[in-house]
Chain A
């Protein structure tokens, strides 16, 4: 039965407003990019089927508003998450600096059973801008931060140029999936908001 199980991975994208969360999601799912900025209100999501090794999983990618406060969506929103993607803009120091806040708040809200090993992912977006000349957060600095938080995998992406987007999301799926435990004898194909995700594995290897 396990093979027939249809896996749904809930991925939540967090980060300051304007760093490109929606664009990344759109690029990954719809292969589209728009220069027009339209603030996300509350949360929105897209789904995409992804092949991870031999398994077909459905990624449910929740894009949140950068201005969003956690309390607005309620804890249930975060509890079911299988992976949390933190996005910042490499050209904007502040967006990088607030990654810690986003991470911490996520852990508070989602309260995963094993916070140390909950799969995060950091994406430094907008590397395309100005040929990289305007970037203020170096890759090294970002990687250092990621390492300090438990080896969070890090990618530099450009939603506009579709750089690393697929790779990153593949890795996200893989990570999230790794954390799935064997306990799921049966899995209702609904999102299980009530039970915290129990993830035990370590971070991504890709």
Chain B
């Protein structure tokens, strides 16, 4: 328990120490000038040094402030805000028996340190008014109120959150048998006390304690029993923070071939991570989930405790098949912007269709291109794409997938914007606009001297990168949900932004797994193909092979929704679905329409973002490859991926992959340096 208690004591101690220093230096405001008036009121104050002032309450606050500013106007800045944001004024007010808290007495006093520490600890453990109660996490099922122990419940809710946010990662973890409580138990029980060092921990706790109670409970507190851990936004924030920690490790986790490795990563979370970034991410995720839970998308979770309450729709789960949002947590996210006004959404819709159309035009024209034409777009795909591109495509597909009415038209937009916000480039990306995207595309093309298949959909700056796809070779993937992201996978052609293609057929075969068996369903396969696109990193879940998975991790925009259009892609592979191979990860950046800005800086930032994400994807792939080569034998076990293992064992394919990676590295470093 010292993990919980120690930070509390530490903070108290710091405050009190600082108070003492302040008092020493600024004796004046602490002087009791009016103590003659009401000596009786405060026996505490009689103790002398700790009694501050007994002046009439009415006058005090104003007067005190006045003093501060009057007497020490110049000195104030000398007392810098410390890490916890206190300044002199706060301290003075807090330490005064008749100050901010009036009759409650001094908020801050060395004499009460033990008491205060206990109270805080107790509040933390017991929770109150819907707050999270850490003590619950120590209960077993029998003691708890429901069939599952609160800890397991919280763990389950953690995974439910993860599903909503990053389905592929969730699937990966579940397939490996990584249960959330194995690591979350320690995280939750002591509120991450072992995962970070003190300074970072305090940042985190600030954020946790600052998380508001849900509005729903306000005014109902009298009626409702006290503890609803899941209902509290604080609890959900904690859950989200845990998710953002998991996402921070995303690439490593995806590259992990087994549960052992995953758990090793999770149980040994890098201690010196800047928690503030994680917190920012968690907050952004919160926004996202709010949207999800606000009714746009019915929740399907089974969090009974939560769900049964019926009064709260805060549920944040979605079916696994729903589109996921991918965040690149580890990248230096500089700014996060949220867009969710309806006006913006409208703009989105308009521009989406516009850019979609544009994109289609570009695709169609590509089809004429001798190099890529043959396979770029399969016969039917053109139609499908067109279809998809219709304004309604989103809603159609969504409704098909989820069985929900088309109302979710607008739903994705905010999500997407949030999503793109996550891209560190976020700020820049967002402003990086339609106009710019053209320019950016051009610059990218120049830069790489490759024939860049960049299409801008939705004002998106799209970069498609490709390598080998399948035997058939080429796929054009269309992304609709996000409309922005489009990836063109072209065989025989290096596409995109710095993409190196693994030209060796063997390599490409490597990625092809024999059949839908590995993939959970045909739909999934379709989906995966789609997924292989742009913007964010996506992990494909079809094949159980880690390499494949890892590869799929490349930067793709997940468009789980767009099964429709992908049919053609998988169709011609009689015996199998082809996994597109992200040997080359490439990124396309998704930007939100609606903001206008254009300057070189931005495009540079975008490129850097791309570079960064490429580096990360490359790392994933490398991890996977190295783990494979370490135990090449492991591939042999896989029943479903015979081809794959053969190819892997084939040194040539391996080398090709490695050299491709090396190329990618070069490209990404170039990007980063820009």
Query: Footprint of B on A, CB under 8 Å?
Result: 1, 4-6, 8, 41-45, 47, 58, 60, 69-74, 76-77, 80, 186-194
Contacts and interface: CB of A to CB of B under 8 A. Distances in A.
Interface stretch (B252-260, B357-365, B455-463, B612-620): B252-260
B140 interface: yes
Contacts of A71: 140-142, 149, 151-152
Given A42-B185, A74-B152, A189 B631 contact: yes
26 contacts: A4-B633, A6-B633, A41-B186, A41-B190, A42-B182, A42-B183, A42-B186, A44-B186, A44-B267, A45-B260, A45-B263, A47-B264, A69-B138, A71-B149, A72-B149, A72-B151, A72-B185, A76-B179, A77-B179, A187-B637, A189-B257, A190-B176, A190-B260, A191-B176, A191-B259, A193-B259
Interface string B159-197: 000000000000000011101011101100110001000
The A interface, classified by DSSP as helix, strand, loop or mixed, is: loop
B181 to A, nearest CB: 6
Interface in B73-97: none
Nearest to A8: B260
Nearest 3 interchain pairs by C-beta: A42-B185, A193-B177, A69-B140
B639 interface: yes
A114 to B, nearest CB: 22
Nearest to A70: B140
A42 B637 contact: no
A42 B189 contact: yes
Given A44-B267, A189-B634, A189-B637, A73 B181 contact: yes
Nearest to B544: A188
Contacts of A5: 633, 637
Contacts of A44: 186, 267
Interface residues of B, number: 36
Contacts of B259: 190-191, 193
Interface string B601-619: 0000000000000000000
B228 to A, nearest CB: 20
A194 B186 contact: no
Contacts of B267: 44-45
A70 B149 CA distance: 10
B181 A74 contact: yes
B179 A193 contact: yes
Given A47-B260, A193-B177, A193-B179, A6 B149 contact: no
Nearest to A60: B260
Contacts of A43: 182, 185
A76 B179 CA distance: 8
Nearest to B633: A4
Interface in B124-141: 137-138, 140-141
Contacts, number: 92
A22 to B, nearest CB: 13
Contacts of B149: 69, 71-72
Given A41-B189, A41-B194, A44-B267, A190 B177 contact: yes
Contacts of A77: 179, 181-182
A77 B179 CA distance: 8
B636 interface: yes
A1 B635 CA distance: 11
B268 to A, nearest CB: 9
Contact of B177 (A41, A58, A194): A194
B256 to A, nearest CB: 10
A15 B493 CA distance: 62
A41 B634 contact: no
A76 to B, nearest CB: 6
Contacts of B257: 189-190
B177 A191 contact: yes
A56 B182 CA distance: 26
Interface of B: 3, 137-138, 140-142, 149, 151-152, 155, 175-177, 179, 181-183, 185-186, 189-190, 194, 257-260, 263-264, 267, 631, 633-634, 636-639
B593 to A, nearest CB: 44
Contacts of B263: 45
Contacts of B190: 41
Contacts of B176: 190-191
B42 to A, nearest CB: 42
A196 B446 CA distance: 59
A186 B639 contact: yes
Nearest to A186: B637
Nearest to A72: B151
Contacts of B3: 41
A191 B181 CA distance: 16
Nearest to A4: B633
A45 B638 CA distance: 26
Nearest to A185: B637
Given A69-B149, A71-B140, 7 more contacts: A1-B637, A41-B185, A44-B186, A72-B137, A72-B140, A73-B182, A190-B176
A41 B260 CA distance: 18
Contacts of B634: 6, 189
Contacts of B183: 42
A43 B264 CA distance: 12
Contacts of B258: 8, 188-191
B177 A192 contact: yes
A44 B484 CA distance: 43
Contact of A188 (B137, B151, B182, B637): B637
Contacts of A58: 260
Nearest to B268: A44
A76 B177 contact: yes
A9 to B, nearest CB: 11
Contacts of A73: 181-182, 185
Given A6-B634, A71-B140, A73-B182, A191 B260 contact: yes
A1 B182 contact: no
B179 A74 contact: yes
Contacts of B155: 74
Nearest to B257: A189
Which among A70, A77, A189 has the greatest number of chain B C-beta atoms within 10 A?
A189
Nearest to A10: B260
A191 B631 CA distance: 16
Contacts of B175: 190
Nearest to B139: A69
Contacts of A4: 633, 636
A37 to B, nearest CB: 11
A72 B152 contact: yes
B190 to A, nearest CB: 6
A178 B628 CA distance: 28
Nearest to B155: A74
A145 to B, nearest CB: 26
A179 to B, nearest CB: 20
A42 B195 CA distance: 13
Nearest to A191: B259
A64 B509 CA distance: 44
Contacts of B179: 74, 76-77, 193
A10 B152 CA distance: 22
Contacts of B152: 71-72, 74
A45 B268 CA distance: 10
A44 B260 CA distance: 11
Contacts of A72: 137, 140, 149, 151-152, 181, 185
A58 B258 CA distance: 13
Nearest to B177: A193
B636 A1 contact: yes
Contacts of A45: 260, 263, 267
